[in-house]
């Protein structure tokens, strides 16, 4: 199987899950009247799933003791937590499509900067005119999707 197609397929399915997760957790937060409690439950479920995957598929790694890991690589958890809390709080009031569309726009800007500068060890891809046009078209698409419902 072509690895590019395989990776793209996995990420496409992961992308399908983001609005579903936002809707589910937003609904849970509204029912519980606490976005923070809903986020905590989401992370507990996620922890259970990831620990199960770790032990059944990968096994316990001994590399953690030997690794020289830069401190900033641990900040991914902060960004995940910010995303979960914000989508859980905002989506029920702003709409799932509006909230996720602006998340997508933020992702487009961030991915372009990360790739262009090769930040945090990412592969470096220059932000050439073709990529800038694609980014502008994607941004225009986001505004077209949400424009009528947000009056932006």
Structure tokens at 89: 């709080």
Query: pLDDT digits over 92-145, tens only?
Result: 989 888 898 889 889 989 999 999 999 988 999 999 999 999 999 988 988 888
Q: Are 124 and 115 in contact (CB under 8 A)?
A: yes
Boundaries of every domain in the chain: 1-94, 95-152
Q: 148: helix, coil or strand?
A: helix
SS3 (DSSP) at 120: helix
The helix (H) or strand (E) run that includes residue 125 is none
pLDDT in tens, 3-45: 988 988 898 898 889 999 999 999 999 999 999 999 999 999 9
Contact predicate 135/108, CB 8 Å:
yes
Q: What is the predicted pLDDT for the residue at 70?
A: 85
């Amino acid at each position: 199987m072509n690895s590019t197609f395989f990776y793209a397929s996995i990420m496409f399915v992961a992308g399908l899950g983001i609005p579903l997760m936002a809707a589910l957790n937003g609904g849970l937060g509204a029912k519980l009247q606490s976005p923070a409690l809903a986020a905590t439950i989401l992370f507990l479920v996620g922890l259970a799933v990831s620990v199960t995957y770790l032990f059944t598929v990968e096994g316990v790694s001994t590399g953690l003791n030997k690794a020289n890991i830069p401190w900033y690589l641990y900040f991914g958890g902060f960004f995940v937590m910010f995303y979960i809390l914000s989508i859980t709080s905002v989506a029920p009031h702003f709409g799932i499509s509006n909230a996720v569309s602006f998340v997508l726009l933020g992702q487009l800007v961030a991915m372009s900067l990360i790739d262009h500068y090769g930040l945090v060890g990412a592969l470096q891809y220059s932000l050439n005119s073709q990529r800038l046009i694609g980014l502008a078209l994607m941004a225009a698409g986001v505004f077209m999707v949400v424009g009528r419902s947000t009056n932006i």
